[in-house]
A = this chain, B = another copy of it.
Amino acid sequence: MKLYSYFRSSASYRVRIALNLKGIPYDIVPVHLLKHGGEQLSQLYRTLNSDGLVPTLVEDADGADGPHVLTQSLAMIEYLEEIHPTPALLPSTPLDRAFVRGVALAIACDTHPLNNLRVLRYLVHELKVDENAKNAWYRHWCESGLAALEVTLARDKRPGKFCYGDTPTLADCCLVPQIFNAQRLKCDLSAMPTLMRIYENCQQLEAFVNAAPQNQPDAEA
């Protein structure tokens, strides 16, 4: 498989973790979000992914139907789960799967989209927001999203070493990149002991370490 990825992209990071956890070999094709006016917006990239967003997962296929092109990080991870069920990234009961997906979506739909590069750019270029207000925006959505998640996980019986039980799931694939972003932008995570404990447990696993931005072929200082 080929993963079109940017080292710091949170959505790319999620899929790298999932691929590593499942032990699926893949090649990174770097897409630089800042250089050349944003390589993700190029006509060439958009023939692959009309959203103009990373990541894109491409699987070479035998036969006439050409390579398989997948968009959307969570759709990719569900796909990987279906074609490579072991180790499982979703629990075995529908109710518990809904819990894990709920945690993942709380990050992917309610927290991360507000802090995306293109959104920050709109704030600066169209709304003429200054650096302080832009950073306050970032921290507001990141901290309020994670604070709600802290409550969700702290009051539920299901989290263990990880968001669900003692093995990593789709939820951890989403949590770790979001915490990474939060730390990079100096968000206040002091009131989130459950999230931080899970984050630290994830950092003990090679699959997470090898997926981290600083360990990517396109990493920059």
Contacts and interface: CB of A to CB of B under 8 A. Distances in A.
Contacts of A72: 101-102, 105-106, 109
A133 interface: yes
Contact of A140 (B109, B122, B155): B122
User: Interface size class for chain A?
Assistant: 35 or more
A101 B78 contact: yes
Copies of this chain in the oligomer: 2
Contacts of A155: 50
A63 interface: no
A101 to B, nearest CB: 4
A26 interface: no
B106 A108 contact: no
A127 interface: yes
A37 interface: no
A94 interface: yes
24 contacts: A46-B151, A50-B149, A51-B110, A70-B95, A71-B102, A72-B101, A72-B109, A74-B105, A74-B109, A75-B102, A78-B98, A78-B101, A79-B95, A79-B97, A79-B98, A82-B94, A108-B109, A109-B109, A109-B112, A109-B113, A110-B113, A123-B127, A126-B133, A127-B127
Closest 9 CB pairs of A and B: A75-B101, A50-B151, A72-B105, A82-B94, A113-B113, A79-B98, A72-B102, A75-B102, A51-B148
